[in-house]
Amino acid sequence: MIRTIVSLKSVRHILRPLVLMLLSAAVIWAADEGRLEKTFDTTREPRVSLNSLKGIVIVRGWDRAQVHVVYVVASPRVEVDSEILPDKVHFDTHLLDAALPSNQQAVDYTLDVPAGATLEIRNPQGKILVQGMQADASVQSVGADISIRDYSGHLMVHSIAGDIDVIRTSGNVEAYSVTGNLHFVSPLTTRLHGSTTSGRILYEGDFMERGDYILSDYSGDVDIVCPASASYTLSAKTLKGKVINTMPMTHRRESASPLGTSNSLLGTHNTGKATVELTSFSGTIRIHPQY
């Protein structure tokens, strides 16, 4: 029947992952407690994608042209499909039983992947930790925290309600949340955009020369803690909150509306080599020196 609909090539493409899937399922339950560990040869820059539902996802970059995966499923009624090709590795998690209790839907993944791999990770209700990667990545969660460390590629991180930690990154960073907090530590990036609605934004570190930093909050506070040697041009605006700055500024221009409903601060610290734009609707913006 299938043969009449699809070409032989398509059938082969369908069968390959299916065979892998069946083998995977067999291996899982032969192993203890639904645990699978396997290593695949890949290129040095494969595309690695993972869709999970719950549980912890850890992705680490290494210098081998291989993907090593360990995953543990909480129930035999949760299935992991995998598609393994030299330049593409994909894991997909789905429920075999829609009525499965929430606490049994988890799959914990640990992946070691080539540092040059492009990543696409989605784990709606589980934590995600990514570290030591060099290529582009898209990391998404709905309700869980995301932590990215030592990353040099272009990073897009979204978590609707979880906190986002971005530590020692050197590529472009875009981080968005709605109710979660954003925490940036020692970024070496020259382009960083962060936005949250009700969470807090905390930036700890220096600003790079010709860097462009845009941080926006709605009702949460924005805190910048940077070394006294930092060099930047600042634009800080809040409609209903306050701007508190304890860094010495030159060309300082401060304004508040006659009704006291808007506060802003424009100025330059040191020689103004980076551009920093901070906005909040009703939160407080603070800029402090790092000791």
Partner 1 sequence: MEANRNEAFAACSRFASELEAYLEGESRPFIASHSRDCMSCGAMLADLLSIQRAARDLPLEEPSHMVWTNVRARLEAEGAFGIPPCTQFGEELEAYLEGESRPFIISHSQDCATCANLLADLQSIRQAARELPLEEPSRVVWANVRARLEAEGAFGTPVSGWRQLLARRVFPHAIPVGVLALLVLLGSVLTLPSNSMYRWDTSNEVAGSPAGAQMASAMPAAEDGALVRVVSDLESNFKASEASMAPDLKATYEKSLVSLDGSIRECLDSLQHEPGNTLAHDYLLTAYTRKAEILSSALEFEGR
Candidate segments 22-30, 139-147, 164-172, 186-194, binder of partner 1 by CB under 8 A: 139-147
**Which 75-114 residues touch partner 1, going by CB under 8 A?**
79, 81, 94, 98, 102
The token pair at 212 is 């462009």
The single residue among 216, 231, 233, 245 that binds partner 1, judged by CB under 8 A, is 216
Say what the alpha-carbon torsion angle 5, 6, 8, 12 is, to the nearest 10 degrees. -120
Residue closer to partner 1 by CB (options 158, 226) is 158
10 interacts with partner 1 by CB under 8 A: yes
Candidate segments 9-17, 106-114, 129-137, 269-277, binder of partner 1 by CB under 8 A: 9-17
**Residues 160-199 vs partner 1: string with x where CB under 8 A?**
xx--------------x-xx---------------x-xx-
Residue closer to partner 1 by CB (options 22, 228) is 22
The residues, any chain, with a CB within 8 Å of residue 237's CB and separated by 6 or more, are: 243, 262, 263, 264, 265, 278, 279, 280
The residues, any chain, with a CB within 8 Å of residue 149's CB and separated by 6 or more, are: 129, 130, 131, 132, 165, 167, 168
Cα–Cα distance measured from residue 280 to residue 247, given in angstroms and rounded to the nearest whole number: 19
Would you call 40 helix, strand, or coil by DSSP? strand
Residue closer to partner 1 by CB (options 137, 230) is 137
239 interacts with partner 1 by CB under 8 A: yes
User: CA nearest 144: which of 166, 119, 170, 122?
Assistant: 122
Cα–Cα distance measured from residue 117 to residue 218, given in angstroms and rounded to the nearest whole number: 35
The residues, any chain, with a CB within 8 Å of residue 86's CB and separated by 6 or more, are: 41, 42, 43, 46
Residue closer to partner 1 by CB (options 215, 226) is 215
Name the residues that contact partner 1, by CB under 8 A: 2, 5-6, 10, 13-14, 17-18, 51, 53, 79, 81, 94, 98, 102, 124-125, 140, 142-143, 160-161, 176, 178-179, 195, 197-198, 216, 218-219, 237, 239, 261-262, 279, 281-282
